[in-house]
Structure 1
Amino acid sequence: MTTRRSALALFGAAVLTAAGLSACGDGDAAASGKQATELRYQGSVGTVTPAELAEDLGYLGDVKLKWIGNTISGPQDIQAATTGDIDFGGAFNGAIVKLSANRAPITAVVGYYGVDKDSYIGYFVLDGSPIKTARDLIGKKIGVNTLGAHSEAITKTYLTRAGLTPDEIAQVELVVVPPVNTEQSLRQKQIDVAALSGTLRDKALDHGGIHPLYTDFELLGPFTAGSYVLRDDFIKKNPDTVKTFVTGVGKALDWSRSTPREQVIERFREILKKRARNEDDSQLQYWKSYGVNGKGGVIAEKEFSTWIEWLNGTGELKGKDVKATDLFTNQYNAAAGGAA
């Protein structure tokens, strides 16, 4: 499990590497006058991301995606984008705030996942568990997909609202567990609480014997929680590619909302079959929405200012002056009238 110190080291390395990439690449791109038509990215096992859906629907035009592997961590994904190992990555907006506060040259360009009544992260305990309240979590283990991101922010919000002190909150242990193993870890009592979302959550609920202690939807209502980011130098060199990508992702999100659920799921099944990554598609039947709040993935200022305020309150930004409007742009999104 990556420690907080290791995570900070990764942040620093990501920023330094990205600075070097930016300094080395601008001249060649300007000389060639060509824009990228292939975007490298990381996927997720057994699921179809909005970017993958956009490509399959033909919304990316001549821009093609190149899958280089899978990830279960938003912070890792945007670090990989920062260092140039991939061209775009996605993460919880609070994680983007933290990486940007460390002077990473990245900008959020479109929302890609969020929270609504159907798409939420629940923090589940076994039926009959002695854990009934936030205070009961002291000394207990909560299984999450990664540290320093969505589940950590939601959990600490829940604990803070329940009146726990910082010292008490520090005694609640967050443990990294791969999402596909989280339900099993809970049932085998390797962890006390399991963060479950999307199709894996509904599949676990179908198995019975668990119930949520708290959810992000109950705490905060509907909101766009995460965004795709691109490196600033990439945006500068490839404005048309960026506009095609961002607008295409937004159109795919809108398509998923306006199309009958059964048709969306069938499209997902076809995509999994075509990409031939030897994935189990049984969980797709539980898909309900991407949860993005608003048309076309357009980013609202509050979707970053909320987490800047929260991170300032916890001291994690260490007094750094971070402005929400510096972290994102809707300039490349046709749904926002973007005209890059």
Structure 2
Amino acid sequence: MPSTRSPRRALAAAVALLALAAATGCGADAAAGGGAQTTELRYQGSVGQVTLPELAADLGYLGDVKLNWIGNVTGGPADIQATATGQSDFGGAFNGAIVKLQSAHAPITAVVSYYGSDAQTFQGYYVLDGSPIRGPRDLIGKRVGMNTLGAHAEAVLRTWLARGGLTADEIGRVELVALPPVNTEQSLRAKQIDVAVLGGVIRDKAVANGGIRTVFTDYELLGAFSAGSYVFRDDFIARNPDTVRAFVTGVGKAIEWARTQPRETVVARLKAVIGKRGRNEDATLVGYWKSSGVAEKGGVITDREFATWIDWLSDAGELKGAKPKPSDLYTNRFNAFANPGGGA
């Protein structure tokens, strides 16, 4: 069972790596040398799942831009840290994690939403059918398994606990455990944890297996919202604006393609992508796909999607100094869907 790790320590490590990368020139893109914009983007994927950029590439929406898979990642904070330090060219994370990393002076900017919660796709907090856990106070002293700490699952949980009347000390007595998403259901059924945070196709598969029930969901708590964004380093954006524009608009088109196609068509395409890429994966999970959960057309980002978490992080003492403005953390200038009639 992996142990918990302080999000602050993880963030500090990322900032230290960022400083090293800046000093050594690590991760400089192809445009730095000859002026031509790079057309290859290094990225991290997810086991048994298809990311929106992968779907966009398969649909031909990225044009001349090619994706270079460098490995898999289980959590958003680690993904955007890799981008900030030049190990990858883009990464995606919960918007609150982006706020924290940018507040630590990481030169990254969010450019397009890529996941969220709606009536079909959401993150739920699940217990075994026989569990006595019903409300916030029942979680004191209990173990909650989630994909990573300091991100979406933790922020939503702490918001729910605070709204349920728990004090900061009581919230601190809820133990958070980082687990790979593919192992979280198994850990709950083995009673290694008391609550499992399950989302997307992993949640749907677990529910279909039976024997678990919902305590609450982020959709019930907050309504429909886009929860995470893809980011690029600012220097990469400056050198490769056309590449970023092709990526953002391509991802936006993939969001809308998936939103407007019959579910069976999307699932078949996702399974085909997994089959073609040859990573020795089980395609079972994508059979449970329902939606991306992205709230705005084409992944356009709004202030609300960052303001919610800026306020939460500030109230929790996670941000030092003045609160950042949401509009300073993201840009829609590369997204054709942000303009009237765009994205066609």
TM-score scaled by length of structure 2: 0.95
Matched, 1:19 2:22: yes
Gaps of 5+ in 1: none
Are 2:314 and 2:323, in contact at CA under 8 Å, matched by a contact in 1? no
Q: Which moved more, 1:199-208 or 1:85-94?
A: 199-208
Distance 2:31 2:118 in 1: 41
How far apart in 1 are the matches of 2:85 and 2:236?
A: 12
Name 1:104's counterpart in structure 2.
Answer: 106
Identify the residue that residue 138 of structure 2 maps to in structure 1.
Answer: 136
Which of 7, 17, 21 matches 2:10? 7
Shift in Å at residue 233 of structure 1? 0.1
Contact 2:258 2:266 in 1 (8 A): yes
**1:49 match:** 51
8 Å contact kept, 1:312–1:319: no
Q: Give 1:287's aligned residue.
A: 289
Of 127-136 and 93-102, deviating more is 127-136
Q: Give the distance between the partners of 1:45 and 1:240, measured in 2 at CA.
A: 29
Give 1:65's aligned residue: 67
Stretches of structure 2 that go unaligned for 5 or more consecutive residues are none
Deviations 1:236-266 (A, max 9, x none): 0000001000000000000000011100000
Matches within 5 A, 1:167-182: 167-182=169-184
* 1:77 equivalent in structure 2: 79
Q: Distance in 2 between matches of 1:226 and 1:130?
A: 32
Identify the residue that residue 36 of structure 1 maps to in structure 2.
38
Q: TM-score, normalised by structure 1?
A: 0.96
Q: Distance in 1 between matches of 2:89 and 2:185?
A: 32
Counterparts in 2 of 1:206-285, with a 5 A limit? 206-285=208-287
Between the aligned partners of 1:170 and 1:315, the Cα distance in structure 2 is 14
Cα distance in 2 for residues equivalent to 1:202 and 1:56: 25
Alignment of 1:185 onto 2:187: yes
In 2, the alpha carbon distance for the partners of 1:81 and 1:9 equals 15
**Inter-partner Cα distance in structure 1 for 2:94 and 2:26:** 28
Distance 1:260 1:22 in 2: 46
Aligned partner of residue 318 in structure 2, secondary structure: coil
1:111-146, Cα deviation, whole Å (9 max, x unpaired): 000100111000000111011211010000000000
Match of 1:148 among 147, 150, 166: 150
Cα deviation code 1:198-239 (max 9, x no counterpart)? 111111111111011111000000000000000000000000
1:321 positional shift: 3.3
Deviates more, 1:315-324 or 1:295-304: 315-324
Once the two structures are TM-superposed, the CA of residue 29 in structure 1 deviates from its matched residue by: 3.8
Verify the 8 A CA contact 1:127 1:209 in the aligned structure 2.
yes
Q: Give the Cα separation in 1 of the matches to 2:301 and 2:223.
A: 17
Q: Which runs of 4+ in 1 moved over 2 A?
A: 1-6, 17-26, 28-31, 318-321
- Residue 24 and residue 174 in structure 1: after superposition, are their counterparts in 2 closer, same or farther (change >3 A)? closer
Q: Distance in 1 between matches of 2:236 and 2:86?
A: 9
Query: Are the aligned partners of 1:139 and 1:172 in contact in 2 as well (CA < 8 Å)?
Result: yes
What is the identity percentage for the equivalent residue pairs of Structure 1 and Structure 2? 62
Q: Distance in 2 between matches of 1:218 and 1:172?
A: 21
Q: What displacement does 1:21 show?
A: 5.9
Secondary structure at the aligned position of 1:264 is classed as helix
Return the offset for 1:306: 1.1
332, 335, 338: which one pairs with 2:334?
332
Going from structure 1 to structure 2, the CA distance change for 1:30 and 1:19 (only over 3 Å counts) comes to: closer
Deviation at 1:318, TM superposition (A): 2.4
2:31 and 2:127 map into 1 onto residues whose CA distance is 53
Q: Is the CA contact 2:27–2:85 (under 8 Å) kept in the aligned structure 1?
A: no
Q: Is the 8 A contact 1:18 1:105 kept in 2?
A: no
Deviation of 1:31 after TM superposition, in Å, equals 5.8
Q: Is the 8 A contact 1:122 1:212 kept in 2?
A: yes
Q: Residue deviations 1:132-167, cap 9 Å, x none?
A: 211010000000000000000000000000000000
CA offset at residue 20 of structure 1?
A: 3.0
Q: CA deviation at 1:10?
A: 1.7
